[in-house]
Amino acid sequence: MKKIDEYQGKKVLVMGFGISGINAAHLLVKLGANVTANDKATPKNNDIVDDLEADGIKVITGDNPISLANEGFDVVVKNPGIPYDNPLVAAFVKQGTPIITEAELGWEIFDGHLVSVTGSNGKTTTTTLTQLMIAENAKHQVKYAGNIGISFSKIAEDLGPDDTLVTELSSFQLLGAPTIHPHIAIITNIFSNHLDYHKTRENYINAKLNITRNQTKNDFLVINWDRDEWQKIAQRSQATIVPFSRLNKSHEGSYVEDGMIYWRGQEVMPAKDIRLIGPQNVENALAAIAAAKLSGVTNDAIKKVLTTFSGVRHRLQYVMEYRERLFYNDSKSTDIEATEVALQGFDRPVILLAGGLDRGYTFERLVPYFKKHVKAMIVFGECKDKMKDAGNQAGVPVIESEDAITAVPEAWKLSEPGDVILLSPANASWDQFPSFEVRGDKFIEAVEELTGKKEQ
């Protein structure tokens, strides 16, 4: 951990009691700040409040009182999910109070080698693969943190100048990380996500590009080269561009040609040997390979990781095989693009479980994928009627169910040996579950109850 004095004697407000917010509050106390912690909800677990107060932190719960904007805070550390049009946040913006996220705080105390990953889809898998590959050859600690569910600042506290940290960073986090400067930045792809938060696609793209804003030509931006738009986006960075591509050969980076993965013209391994299924995971592997090779990782280490790693929980996660049916949990597919790529990964008939929060859009884009890959659909949640319409357009049998749990036995009734039963909702979970993780866990529990087996 780097010793800094920027917060000594400063008055800091931490908004949000998530894992990152709680860790940030305690860290700020160590850094000499006078900390107030605020959450709109009242925690059900009193231990959270007790621990904060025991560290000398003033705690305010049950509201975001606008009066806090008049208390002279020097800095606000905001939970990434709190929007900037929140009345209290908007008041701080208006008066010019610096607003950062915990990712910025983590960067400020980090004293090692930083690799950061962002993108619309594939962030967590790419982050995990990159960390595993670098760790295979490392003589020092190699950890991951960030949007992957582990506090950036908490891990950064325990790392030194020779250690490596691979961070997954969301657009929400990057908006509040003005000085972050990874030596290697990765952009997996950019679609049109979170426009309810960012308002416009350009705002969303700009937030993603904060990952490379402070990079120089001595740093590297690893970026997907499979769309013209992403190639143009790369031109907005000052870093050395390292492309990765499943579709276009580029000797400046990693790519696939005739079924073989190459790094700058040198063979690495056959693409078919990647244990993770689907074209999206080939792209994730290519991104990780580029970062790993830039970090000095050997081909043998890369092969070991890619031939053994079976997936991140909730990201096209293989659950089990039962009576010649394969069950997959892809609860992290909270948008149309993620479900598109999930369906493309299977050459067996798919019974698709889909639906969730209604964000106002329809699903005509999925019709060609339904026609090609899906034999039947179970739909649920707020948007089930819109999902059903897309299924009907594709000529696919559609059954309505209550949620992702009750959909499991319904899918089983429709299945035959050789089928895939896939939860890939194409929608957020918040209409019925507090998170995609809970939705995925409940799906796995339902599969275990149906089969009498534990996930593999």
pTM of the model: 0.82
CB contact at 8 A, 435 and 344: no
Count of domains for the chain: 3
Clarify whether residues 186 and 43 are in a common domain: no
1 located within any domain: no
Task: Please calculate the CA angle 385-386-389 and round it to the nearest 5 degrees.
Answer: 85
Clarify whether residues 107 and 96 are in a common domain: no
Cα separation of 43 and 78, whole Å?
A: 17
| Domain end point (choices 279, 308, 337) | 308
Residue 75 sits in a domain whose CATH number is 3.40.50.720
Q: Which two tokens stand for residue 29?
A: 């106390």
Clarify whether residues 128 and 226 are in a common domain: yes
Clarify whether residues 130 and 257 are in a common domain: yes
Cα separation of 115 and 321, whole Å?
A: 36
| Domain end point (choices 308, 335, 360) | 308
220 located within any domain: yes
Clarify whether residues 274 and 135 are in a common domain: yes
For 329, the domain range is 317-451
Length of the chain equals: 456
CB contact at 8 A, 291 and 184: yes
Clarify whether residues 114 and 176 are in a common domain: yes
Clarify whether residues 96 and 108 are in a common domain: no
Clarify whether residues 112 and 78 are in a common domain: no
Residue 414 sits in a domain whose CATH number is 3.90.190.20
Clarify whether residues 216 and 125 are in a common domain: yes
Clarify whether residues 301 and 377 are in a common domain: no
5 located within any domain: no
| Residue whose C-alpha is closest to residue 255's, from 271, 244, 266 | 244
CB contact at 8 A, 100 and 75: yes
Clarify whether residues 288 and 348 are in a common domain: no
Clarify whether residues 51 and 138 are in a common domain: no
- Per-residue confidence in pLDDT tens, the chain, 456 aa: 999 999 999 999 999 998 899 999 999 999 999 999 999 998 877 898 999 999 999 999 999 999 999 999 999 999 999 999 999 999 999 999 999 999 999 999 999 999 999 999 899 999 999 999 999 989 999 999 999 889 999 999 999 999 999 999 999 999 999 999 999 999 999 987 777 888 899 999 999 999 999 999 999 999 999 999 999 999 999 999 999 999 988 889 999 999 999 999 999 999 999 999 888 899 999 999 999 999 999 999 999 999 999 888 898 898 999 999 999 999 999 999 889 989 988 989 999 999 999 988 899 999 999 999 999 999 999 999 999 999 999 999 999 999 999 999 999 999 999 999 999 999 999 999 999 999 999 999 999 999 999 887
